[in-house]
Chain A
Amino acid sequence: MGTYQHVRFAYRTAPEVGGAPLRRPVAVVGAGPVGLAAAIDLALHGVPSVVLDDNDSVSVGSRAICWSKRTLEIFDRLGVADRMLAKGVTWRIGRVFHRDRELYCFDLLPEGGHKMPAFINLQQYYVEQYLVERALEFPQLIDLRWKHRVAALRPAAGGAALEVDTPDGRYAVQADWVLAADGARSTLRGLLGLPFEGHTFEEKFLIADVQIGADFPSDRRFWFEPVFGQGQSVLIHRQPDNIFRIDFQLGPDADADLEMQPERVMRRVRGVVGPDVPCELDWCSVYSFRCARLDRFVHGRVVFVGDSAHVVSPFGARGGNGGIQDVDNVCWKLAQVLAGRAPERLLESYDAERVHGADENIRNSRRTTAFMTPKTGTEKLFRDGVLALAHDYPFARLLVNSGRLSRPCSLEGLPGFEGDGADLDGPMRPGMPCLDAPVTGGDGAPDWLLRHLGGHFTVLSFAGDIGSLQRLESGLAGAAPDGVQMLAVTPQLLPGGTLQQLVDAEGLVRSRYGGADGVTYLIRPDQHVTARWARPEAAAVGRAWRRSLGEQP
């Protein structure tokens, strides 16, 4: 079963078997989407890593399918988004039904002027394949090792030692840092004896990928108490290759073996797609879900990222998307620490920021599950009440919860982000991930703001005319230390300026960033606003930059 041709990646004997250990600045354990993305991000920062995976192929069966705008923006920085966009199914509309009536639809990106769509659907195996192929473009920096299973871990001063099992025997790896990207059943979590606490939902779901020979819409469609088939809810997503993901909510008592019988699955599928449409089962599985996270994500020199650190139910597509935001958050920090430009303490901000992100994802996922599975008669009364009112009362639509789809996580209010000064407006408060907008570079070619912001610190200033540009240039002289780029957003190319200009011909950068003349942002390598000023001073910019690097004021 399955239309995707799984390639086996070549296993290679480790030269270290029976010899001296392998030394690397970073060992990434696990080549799922999170570990692969981390290795690429580190490579873009010039940090070499070894990636160890106990398997030799991409994800079998489709797991993640919905990749969010923020993930795509991060993938764009990593150099893989264009391929994913080309293959993926782009969507932004969700439609919600109750029994046989449509209650409402929602639009996840009602405005233009963004490079990335609200969502694409793309099977996890394609995502991993594209990430592997991208990783192979860094042969000097990324050492990808398939069928290398980490079996032991020993924390050591200034690093950690791993024991790796291969078909040819065991060898040792010594790394300054270990990124534990080994998934929901994390070996490293177990080796460190870390509890993974949370909540398991009793509800069972049948997940079927079906190839359909008919033109169905790309919108996300969700039914509460569908009249077709049995079951409490049904969710459909379109994927590439004419494959549709259908999730059937089976209730807590379903018998997994029985529900997986192909004839039985196809009876349910037929209920959704109709009796005559040609369709074929590509893959199916019965799941129950849990929400859990590690208490801390940083344990000495071992840093947990992705499913090893946190898991959620898939409604809301927050698992993989959350893991990619972990990568975005941690890699630049590791690179700064390894280069000696920041104290090790900087990693504490990864812990605080991504624990916050995981909690947000778990909260959303738990609330969705609660709405989908009323536990008592009273819970059912309120759920039915919300559904009954939703058609006519917009407020009630906001209470209908068929999944709160992954949104970029704001770090507002966390340590290291400066509060706003007076006379600043616009939504881009410190802690917010930057919004995209169209710009043109010096050569006049159409481009996007976010493509200029990632990977390094940026001082981004607004100037409406040459006078204000020159004031900025003299006011900010010396503000940008080595490796910090300075950019000015201008309405048209202003001759005579020395700062690099991004032309904001449509004025969207200005309106999205409240960009009055002189307004200046300091932006982190992960495209989050650190601080902003209406009237910037070089000294204040320098202080904010040092604080974002974990230096104490």
Chain B
Amino acid sequence: MNASAPSGLRRDDGFGGRGDDFYELLMRAHEGLDEARSAALNARCLLLLANQVGDIEVIRQALDAARASLAPPAQ
């Protein structure tokens, strides 16, 4: 099921080649929403998907990776 080691965040394609479909879906879900509602949608979507993943270790790695990818705050 998962290409990487068990309990590790995968870096390769998990969409089976349908990455564009996913991205379009994501954009469409936010269409017509103001920023506040978009943010609420993201939060709820994250809760649903995190529960789907279930593995706290993977989720921790995803949060760390996302946090590490943020540009440092402007001085």
Q: State whether the Cβ of A385 lies closer than 8 Å to any Cβ in chain B.
A: yes
Complex contact B51–A385 (CB within 8 A): no
Q: What are the residues of chain A within 8 A of B48 when measuring CB–CB? A: 389, 393
Which residues of A sit under 8 angstroms from B44, Cβ to Cβ?
385, 388-389
CB <8 Å contact, B47 and A384 = no
Interface 1/0 per residue, A378-402 and B, CB below 8 Å: 1001101110110001011001000
Q: Tell me which residues from 42 to 71 in chain B have a Cβ below 8 Å from any Cβ of chain A.
A: 43-44, 47-48, 51
A395 (CB) vs chain B CBs: closest residue: B51
Do A382 and B51 touch (CB < 8 A)?
no
Which residues of the partner chain B approach A384 to less than 8 Å between Cβ atoms?
40, 43
* Chain B residues with CB under 8 A of A393: 48, 51
Please tell me if B33 contacts chain A, counting CB pairs below 8 Å: no
The reply on B39 being an interface residue by CB < 8 A is: yes
- Total interface residues in chain B, CB < 8 Å: 7
Q: Which of A378, A385, A395, A396 has the most CB of B within 10 A?
A: A385
Please give me the residue from chain A that is nearest to B40 by CB atom: A381
Chain B nearest CB from A12 CB (Å) reads 58
Closest residue of B by beta carbon distance from A383? B43
Residues of A within 8 A of B47 (CB): 382, 385-386, 389, 396, 399
Q: How far is the CA of A381 from the CA of B43 in the complex (A)?
A: 6
Chain B residues with CB under 8 Å of A395's CB are 51
The bracket for how many chain A residues form the interface is: 10 to 19
B43, B48, B51: which has the most chain A beta carbons within 10 Å?
A: B43
Cβ–Cβ < 8 Å partners of B39 in chain A: 378, 381
Min CB gap B16→A, angstroms = 25
Q: Which of A361-414 contact B (CB under 8 A)?
A: 378, 381-382, 384-386, 388-389, 393, 395-396, 399
**A539 CA to B40 CA in the complex, in Å?**
62
Q: Name the distance in Å between A450's Cβ and chain B's nearest Cβ.
A: 35
A385 to B38, CA, bound (A): 12
Chain A 72-111 residues near chain B, CB threshold 8 A: none
CB distance from A156 to the nearest CB of B (A): 50
Q: A residues 272-329 with Cβ under 8 Å of B? A: none
* Interface residue ranges of A236-285 to B (CB < 8 Å): none
Question: A378 — which chain B residues lie within 8 A by C-beta?
Answer: 39, 43
Closest residue of chain B to A394 (Cβ to Cβ) is B51
User: What is the CB-to-nearest-CB distance from A223 to chain B, in angstroms, rounded to a whole number?
Assistant: 21
| A395–B40 CA distance with the chains assembled, in angstroms | 18
Shortest CB–CB separation between residue B54 and chain A, in angstroms? Answer: 9
Instruction: Report the minimum CB–CB distance from B50 to chain A (whole Å).
Output: 9
Complex: A102 Cα to B44 Cα, angstroms: 20
Report B-chain residues with C-beta under 8 Å of the C-beta of A399: 47
Q: How far is the CA of A381 from the CA of B36 in the complex (A)?
A: 9
Q: Which residues of A contact B40 (CB under 8 A)?
A: 381, 384-385
A395 to B39, CA, bound (A): 21
B39, B44, B48 — which one has the most chain A CB atoms within 10 A of its CB?
B44
A385 to chain B: which residues have CB within 8 Å? 40, 43-44, 47
State how many angstroms separate the Cβ of A396 from the closest Cβ of chain B. Answer: 7
How distant is the Cα of A355 from the Cα of B43 in the complex, in angstroms? 36
In the assembled complex, the CB of A394 is this many whole angstroms from the nearest CB of chain B, namely 10
Query: Within the assembled complex, what's the spacing in Å between the Cα atoms of A381 and B40?
Result: 6
For A388, the chain B residues whose CB sits under 8 A away are 44
CB distance from B8 to the nearest CB of A (A): 23
Q: CA of A393 to CA of B43 in the docked complex: distance in angstroms?
A: 15
Least CB distance from B53 to A in Å reads: 12
Taken together as a complex, chains A and B put the C-alpha atoms of A119 and B47 apart, in Å, by 32
Contacts of B51 in A (CB 8 A): 393, 395-396
Instruction: Give B52's nearest chain A residue, CB to CB.
Output: A395
CA distance A384 to B41 in the complex (A): 11
Report the nearest B residue to A382, measured CB to CB: B43
Q: Which residues of chain B come closer than 8 Å to A386, judged between CB atoms?
A: 47
Query: Closest Cβ of chain A: how far from B55's Cβ, in Å?
Result: 14
Minimum distance in angstroms from B34 CB to a CB of chain A: 14
Closest A residue to B51 using CB positions: A395
* Distance of A399 Cα from B47 Cα, bound (Å): 10
Which residues of chain B have C-beta atoms less than 8 A from A382's C-beta?
Answer: 43, 47
Rounded to whole angstroms, the CA-CA distance of A395 and B48 in the bound complex is: 9
Residues of B within 8 A of A381 (CB): 39-40, 43
Q: Which residues of B contact A396 (CB under 8 A)?
A: 47, 51
How far apart are B42's CB and chain A's nearest CB, in angstroms? Answer: 8
Residue of A nearest to B41 (CB): A385
Tell me which residues across on chain A come within 8 A of B43, comparing CB atoms. 378, 381-382, 384-385
Bound CA span A385–B37, Å = 11
The answer for the CA separation of A382 and B51 in the assembled complex, in Å, is: 14
Q: How far is the CA of A368 from the CA of B51 in the complex (A)?
A: 20
A381's nearest neighbour on chain B, judged by CB, is B43
* Minimum distance in angstroms from B59 CB to a CB of chain A: 13
**Bound Cα distance A399, B43 (Å):** 14
| CA of A389 to CA of B52, assembled, Å | 14
Bound Cα distance from A399 to B48, whole angstroms: 12
20 sample A-B contacts, Cβ–Cβ < 8 Å, listed by A number:
A378-B39, A381-B39, A381-B40, A381-B43, A382-B47, A384-B40, A384-B43, A385-B40, A385-B43, A386-B47, A388-B44, A389-B44, A389-B47, A389-B48, A393-B48, A393-B51, A395-B51, A396-B47, A396-B51, A399-B47
6 further A-B contacts with Cβ under 8 Å, apart from A385-B44, A389-B47, A399-B47, are A378-B39, A378-B43, A382-B43, A384-B40, A389-B44, A396-B51
Cβ-closest 3 pairs across A and B: A385-B44, A381-B43, A385-B43
